[in-house]
Amino acid sequence: MTKTAFVSGATAGIGKATVVALVKAGWRCVATGRRKERLDALVAELGADKVHPCVFDVRDGETMDAAIAALPAEFAGIDLLVNNAGLAQGLAPAQEADLDDWQTMIDTNVSAMVRLTRKLLPGLIERKGAIVTIGSVAGSYIYPGGNVYAGSKAFANHFTLALRADLHGTGVRVTCIEPGMVETEFTMVRTGSQQASDDLYRGADPMTAEDIADTVLWIAELPPHLNINRIELMPVTQDFAGFRVARDKD
């Protein structure tokens, strides 16, 4: 029987790569995002029988609920939720940060994820499905300017573990994938600068969206008695050592 995945934030990066990987492995996918033309391109590439596009901003709860309610029958039974939609805005220290940037990150990375998860939980329990959330190493290893982004990813990481506890006995598998440096549109969105993105990844040999998508697929297709609670990935070139000392100046 063909299984169906619901992938948020599927217009680029990890979300798009996840849809491609799942479909090539025989899954159907509900692909969501704000950019209709990109979702349409996914449908054209992979087939309307394999990908159903849902165009909405995850922060718009009413539109999201309506899109889910209107899913065609063949896409309505969700076996896998991939909570991928998320973003970072700004790199300023907390004392200089834009409150609107903070609110956007909270609305997208926390509130929308929680609402979507709650919306799909009854069906996932009924089908003994799986939830895979794309967290981040930023939720564990803090860096200057990370402030609310890091906080939102700490929430994603721990909310996923809390779901695992609450869903004990239901047969639903729950995993948080916590990637480090992945070369996607992430930095360009965050900074508004293609140059800043190029500078960050140059010479770093970062992970790719496909690397993370392959990890999602591996987790999704594990035997039903196995659960990966959390998995942290970094490129070999990146590590988590970052202690600093501010010293008095003579």
pLDDT in tens, 74-93: 999 999 999 999 999 988 99
| The token pair that represents 141 in the structure block | 């290893």
Strands 80-83 vs 182-183: parallel, antiparallel or unpaired = unpaired
For residue 168, is pLDDT > 80?
yes
Extents of the domains making up the chain: 4-232
- Banded model confidence at residue 242, pLDDT cuts 50, 70, 90: confident
Whole-angstrom distance, CA of residue 229 vs CA of residue 83: 15
- The strands making up 4-7's β-sheet, listed across from edge to edge, are 51-55, 28-33, 4-7, 80-83, 130-134, 173-179, 230-233
pTM score of the predicted model:
0.93
Fold topology of 4-232: Rossmann fold (3.40.50)
Distances (CA, A) of 232 to 126, 180, 228: 29, 8, 11
User: Is residue 244 pLDDT above 80, yes or no?
Assistant: no
What pLDDT is recorded for position 25? 98
- For 86, other C-beta atoms within 10 Å of its C-beta total 25
CA–CA distance, 199 with 34 (Å, rounded to integer): 27
Q: What is the pLDDT of residue 86?
A: 92
Is the pLDDT at 49 greater than 90? The verdict is yes
Q: How confident is the model at residue 63 (pLDDT cuts 50, 70, 90)?
A: very high
Beta strands 4-7 and 28-33 are parallel
Instruction: Give the CA diameter of the chain.
Output: 72
Residue-wise pLDDT for 11-47, tens only, equals 999 999 999 999 999 999 999 999 999 999 999 999 9
Is 149 marked active-site?
yes
Is residue 104's pLDDT more than 90?
A: yes
pLDDT class for 128, splitting at 50, 70, 90?
Answer: very high
Residue-wise pLDDT for 185-237, tens only, equals: 778 787 888 888 888 889 989 999 999 999 999 999 999 999 999 999 999 99
- The active-site residue out of 141, 143, 149, 201 is 149
Q: Reply yes or no on whether the pLDDT at 243 is more than 80.
A: no
Q: Rounded mean pLDDT of the chain? A: 94
